[in-house]
Structures are given as structure tokens and as C-alpha cells.
Structure 1
Amino acid sequence: MTSTGGAAPASATGAGSGSGLAGRRRVFYLDNLRAVAVLAVLLLHASICYMVAAPQWWYVVDPDVSTAFTVIVLIVDVPVMSAMFLVAGYFAVPSWRRRGTGGLVTEKLIRLGAPWVFGVLVLAPALTYLSYVSRGIPMPYLQFWATDFWGPRYQQSVYWFLGVLLALFLLLGVVLRLRPSLAERPAAPTAEPWRAVLAVFVVGAVAATALSPFFGLDDWKPVAWVFLVQPARVALYPSFFVLGIHAERQGWLAGDGWRPSVRAWIPASLATGIAYLAFRVAGYSATVPARIVGGVLFAAFCVSAVLAALAGFSRWADRSTRGWRTLADNAFGIYYVHPLVLYPGALLLVGLAVPGALKAVVVLAVTVGLSLAISAGVLRRAPILRRVF
């Protein structure tokens, strides 16, 4: 039902390099949006453990379920990853301008490629094995790793995002190597913002429609055993990445450039969100017509929610405080290690005679605290690891 995605930090997306607009201050609200998106990922993953009808493959499912967590999952799952691809795209070309193609490729191979490979080969199998442990399926871990994990249980946990993002950065490096003029900013904006936003929606809706006979919104598919994606949503990943690139070139989202309107996009996100949620609860099924409607509503809500988030953070969270900086600096570390804390924690609470809502709060609070401590105290301090995180 949900992505297992997460958000990458400044060091991984390129957002740590400044605003990306020469002569202008850092775009603090994009850092803050990314930090909150990471926390939303933690909320999403904790909620799945306590939702009604959780995915059969999910790591830990507690019998104390609630429809409230189902609603949280359905809503939070839609815009989080797209927002992360947009922010990554926004800071991608400024990173290329500073480092050149070789520098950009090297940087992303270190900060995205290395943790992605380690996550897929080492961490994802251990996390997936929890689905056997939590259900009492008797199989030694090494046997599981050698058989089921590389078969019907193959997945990349939250680390799939790093692989897809790395591919987009490498492709961008090739494109800019061939046509460096694409990194130049026009003297004046050459396109209205609404056209670019509409294009993202159209691409997402058309792709979901075309793939509806084969995939639903929540289906996962490995691509050559290298990448793992949700096909019905996959067109939105590069679309938002390119939208971020386009926004930076046009001078949007920073300084005196265009920013989404709170008055327009927050009501739009509420309307499309209600429509999407109502359809998912009452009308979504495996039929092709239902998948088409669901895909169109998903794209509409995704676009409007991301724009609403940009509008809200631009107006109310465009500042730097100690708390915001701490979260932003540790976003990648929190994202990377949180499954190692969250799922074992949820497993320890299974069977405990307390309400599921209380369990979820405890698991979420402990996960945020421990993940932040591990990131700040280990990942960002160790000589080798701090080069990545």
C-alpha cells in the first residue's frame, strides 16, 4: 500500500551547497521541508505497523490495528518522495556548476552509491528477515539470504530511493557534459510556472493510466535486480526531479522568484487529498478502470500537496534555528538508520497489553531520538562515515 521510501539529506541531494542562486542567501525552507519529510517517513513506517490490512510483506505487523493509521499511511505516502526528488533536482545543477561532471559523479557515487549498495546487500536482507521472525517462520538467516531474499522476498527497503536518485544524477551529468548550455540561467523566465506544474501532473497521470493493466499504485517491481520502483508512480520521480532543475534555472522558489501561493495550493491539496482518500477507501480495486482513476487522483494530490508544502514552508518556515539546522544536518542519517531502530522496536511491543496508538507513539519517539543520536554521534563524526553523511 505504501512506498518504503525516505528522504536524502543535504549531503546526498546537493542541498547542502547553498541556495543554488548566486548572490542569494541559502533557501532555508527547502532544508526544513526536507527535514520534516524525513520525520514524515518515520511516521509513515511506524503507522504501517498498526494500520488495517498492512502489506503482507511488511516487516512487523501488530495485531492492535486502527483505521486512523490507515488514513495516515494513505495520505503521507503520496507526496513525500516526490517532494524529495524535487528538492534534489533543485540543487543538482548548482552542484554541477561547482564541481563539473567528474566532480558531480564522484560526489554522488560516494554519498549515494556507497550507502545504497551497502543498504541493499547488508541492511535490506536483515530488515526483510524480520518479516519471518515476526511471523514465526522458521528459517535460518543465511538460508533466507541465499534463497528467499534473492527470490520472492527481494526488496531494497528504504534504500531504493538512493539508487533511483543516483541514476538521475548520473544521467544529468551525462546530459550536461554533452550540452552544458542547459545549465545556464535565462535572462528572464521563459515559461509560466503553471505549464511546468501541469506537465508533471500529465506525465504522472498518463503513465499510471498506461501501466494500469499491469500494475496498481502499490505494486513494486525490480528493474534488472538493480533498481526497485513502483511502476505506476515511477514517472513522477524524474518529473519532479526535472521540475526542480527547471525551477532553479528560472529563479523560482528563492529570492524574488515565483513561489507557490498558500491561498491556491493548500485548498487544492485539501480538495484533491479528500478525493483521493475517499476513492482509496471506498472505490479502489485491482480493476483497470479503478487503477486509472486512482492513478489520476494520486497524481493530482501529489502535485498539489508538494506545491502546498513548498508554499507553506516558504511562508512559515523560511528560517534557520538550532533545531532546524540539527534536523537538516542529520536528515540523511536519520533516514538511513531508522529502520534498524523502528522495526525491532515494533517487534518488541507486539503482544504488549497496551493500545496500538500508544505503541506507535512510543516506537516513533524512540526511533526519532535514537536515529538522531546515532546520526549526530556516529555517522557524522566517524572519519569515513562523515564523508557520506
Structure 2
Amino acid sequence: MGAVKREVYIDYLRLLLIGLVVMQHLSVTYSGIGSWYYVEKAALGPVQQTVFLFFNSFNQSYFMGLLFFIAGCFVPGAYDRKGFWRFTADRFLRLGVPALFYMLLVQPLNLYILRTAGVWQQADFFAWYARYVSSFAFLGGSGPLWFAVALLIFSLFYALFRLLEGEANGSRPLCPLTTRYCIGLILLIAIVAFAIRLVQPIGTSILNMQFCFFSEYVFLFAAGIAASRNQWLAELRYEYGLKWLKAVLFLGIPCWIAVVIGGGVLRMQSIDVITGGWQWQAACYALLESFFGVGMSIGLLALFKEKCNRQSRFWQTLADNSFAVYVFHAPIIITLTLLLRDLQFWPLLKFALLSVLALPLCFALAHFVLRRLPLLKRIL
């Protein structure tokens, strides 16, 4: 099996995606489209509503799925080097410990900040925390670290599969990445997502896991494993990725507009027509999400491989701090948005302003403070 070589463009792409995660949560704060700790209630006109809806839904369609794909690319090589026991222990250390840290310390910090600001009504915080821990309610308090929990579970399933499979996988012939395979993957993700949303529509969760999106996460994680086995990233051509990006821009986005406007989604009372159920809008939306997810993943990987594959001390420093930003951005942006909640701006302008302020602040705190603390340095 050919292990994926760690190249700088992958770190830079992951940096972009985590930056988008921060912006996504700020967007939810000011649009109310999605779920987040703190949401400012504001009336949105048609233009702002459309922009927020597109930004949130377009990002959601690919950025977490691409993170799972990237993670999947490195799982086979890590297992090959470490074997079952070292691999599983490493996954618990790298993913389980940060997730548990978030559940037990960062999640309560988020709620304490909201309590101090009068947003969360809780008379006795310490009594609440005792119940939160003793009742195991903390298992649903993973916040953005649901990603680490899900990735840990996916990795453990892979490790068990490899343990049972033995060494048989090493002799398999390479399978090239083809457009037919990509189209089949798009259809598979869409069909399974549509089926899941019949019982778990968009907006629902179990223990902070939004299973409505897990079709893409599972299949793209598996595609990352296949990419490692078949050396897809090494063979990925810039021209091929550019074709997928153009398809998303010139075919996918007009289709999104047609579904949203033609399907009546812009009337917020009708947004449930795309979240799940036996509606044509829900089926088309699931297909569009899948198309965006696969197309943007291929396109961005090829684009960054071609254009962003040169070492830069500045960008590498940011990339090195990206996981710390992912873990700690919630209390940072919650505090920042609460401090500026009395600022009277249009929600879209406020979102843009907070993005400009929050991203540098998150990375600065991660680099100069958080990753220099002895305890955090070990898990970040």
C-alpha cells in the first residue's frame, strides 16, 4: 500500500477549511441558519437571507466532508507503521483526549460565558456542572469536537477491519480515479443522505452528532482510504480538478438557485422542504450537497496541490495552530460576539466585521498563549 506523503498543500488546505469553520459559526450567529451557542435575533431581508443561506449550505456541503477525506488519506499509512495497538492508542490520544477536554472544560466555559452575559439562565453553575458530569450529559457536549469523536470512531472501525483482514490488502492492484467512480460516489452519498433524512432531517442531532450529514462523512473518509491505497493524490492533475471546480460553479450553483427559489426555500417557513422527507426539494438538495462535496473536494485538492505547495514560514505557522483554533474558537468568538452585540449593523456586515476580527484573534491566541501552556501543548 502506498502511504500518502504529507505535503504542505494539505496542511494549507486544512488551514482554509478550519478558517471556514470559524466563519460558519459566525454566520450562524448572525443569520440563525444552523445551530450555535449564541444567535442574535435579527430580521433578514431577502438579499441577506439568500447570502447567508448560500454561504452556510455551500460550506456545509463540502468543508467537513473534505476534512474527513484528508484524515482518511493518512489512516492507512499510520496503521501500517504502528499496527493495531499503537494505532488505536494514538487515535485515543490525538482525538479522544482533546474531545474529552472540550466536553469537560471548554463546553462548561462556553456556557459560563453565556451565563455571565445573561444569555443562559442557570442559577447555580457548579450544581449544574456536577449534574453535567455525574449524569454523563457531557457526552453530548462535544461542540465542534464532534468531528474528533466521529473520526475516532471511524478510525477504530478501520483498525478492526485491518486487524480482521490481515495483510491481504497489500496485494490488491491499483484502481485509478475516474469520473465514473466520482459520479457513482455522488449518487451513493445522495441516496443514503436522503434516506437518513427521512428519520433524521437536517437540524436534528443525537449526542451532538448530526447524522443527517454523515453519509458524506463516512463515504469521503472511505474515499480517503481508497485514495491512499490507490495513490490518487499523487496522480491528481490540476486540469482535472479545475473541471470539477468549473462544474460546481457553472452547473451546481445555478441548480442550487433553482432549487432554493423554485422550491420556495427562501420563505423561511418553508425551509423544511429541503431538510428531509418525501419532497422533491429534499431529494434535489441531497444530490446538490453530494455534488458540491465531491466536486469541491477534488477541485480544492488539485488547486492547492498546484498553487499552494510551496513552503512558507508564515502559512506553516498558521497551519500548525489550526487544530488549536478548531478546539478553542468557540469561547473566543462567543466572547467577541457578546462584547459587540450592542453594535447596530446589518447582520451581513456584522458577520464580515467579526470574521475580520475573530480569525486573527483566534490564531494569535492559539500561537502565543494556548499552545505554550504545558497542559495544552501536549494535546494541541
TM-score by length of 1: 0.82
- Alignment partner, residue 48 of structure 1: 28
Report the Cα distance in structure 2 between the residues aligned to 1:170 and 1:195, rounded to whole angstroms: 30
Letter of the structure 2 residue corresponding to residue 156 of structure 1? S
Report the Cα distance in structure 1 between the residues aligned to 2:284 and 2:93, rounded to whole angstroms: 40
Within 5 Å, give how 1:273-284 maps onto structure 2. Answer: 273-280=253-260, 282-283=264-265, 284=271
Report the Cα distance in structure 2 between the residues aligned to 1:382 and 1:185, rounded to whole angstroms: 46
Secondary structure of 1:235's counterpart equals helix
Contact 1:129 1:144 (C-alpha < 8 Å) held by counterparts: no
Distance change >3 Å, CA 35–CA 180, structure 1 → 2: farther
Q: Which runs of 5+ in 2 are unaligned?
A: 266-270
Contact 2:244 2:298 (C-alpha < 8 Å) held by counterparts: yes
Within 5 Å, give how 1:20-169 maps onto structure 2. Answer: 20-21=3-4, 26-51=6-31, 53-55=32-34, 58-61=37-40, 63=42, 66-67=48-49, 68-128=51-111, 136=119, 138-140=121-123, 141-142=125-126, 145=129, 146=131, 155-169=141-155
What is the aligned-residue identity percentage?
23
Q: Structure 1 residue 288 and structure 2 residue 273: aligned?
A: no
- Alignment partner, residue 317 of structure 2: 326
Letter of the structure 2 residue corresponding to residue 206 of structure 1? I
The Cα RMSD (Å) is 3.1
Report the Cα distance in structure 2 between the residues aligned to 1:56 and 1:171, rounded to whole angstroms: 29
Whose helix proportion is higher, 1 or 2?
2
Contact 2:174 2:230 (C-alpha < 8 Å) held by counterparts: yes
Which string of whole-angstrom CA distances, capped at 9 and with x for unpartnered residues, describes residues 225-266 of structure 1? xxx322222121121111011111111112x45667134201
Report the Cα distance in structure 1 between the residues aligned to 2:65 and 2:29, rounded to whole angstroms: 23
Contact 1:260 1:307 (C-alpha < 8 Å) held by counterparts: no
Within 5 Å, give how 1:1-389 maps onto structure 2. Answer: 20-21=3-4, 26-51=6-31, 53-55=32-34, 58-61=37-40, 63=42, 66-67=48-49, 68-128=51-111, 136=119, 138-140=121-123, 141-142=125-126, 145=129, 146=131, 155-181=141-167, 184=170, 186=172, 189-222=174-207, 228-254=208-234, 256=235, 261-270=240-249, 271-280=251-260, 282-283=264-265, 284-286=271-273, 287-289=277-279, 290-389=281-380
Which string of whole-angstrom CA distances, capped at 9 and with x for unpartnered residues, describes residues 294-347 of structure 1? 222221222112222122212221222112211221110111111111011111
TM-score by length of 2: 0.83
Which deviates more from structure 2 when the two are superposed, residues 84-93 or residues 189-198? 189-198
Contact 2:68 2:221 (C-alpha < 8 Å) held by counterparts: yes
Aligned residue pairs, count: 360
Distance change >3 Å, CA 325–CA 172, structure 1 → 2: same
- Alignment partner, residue 268 of structure 2: none
Q: Which runs of 5+ in 1 are unaligned?
A: 1-18, 223-227
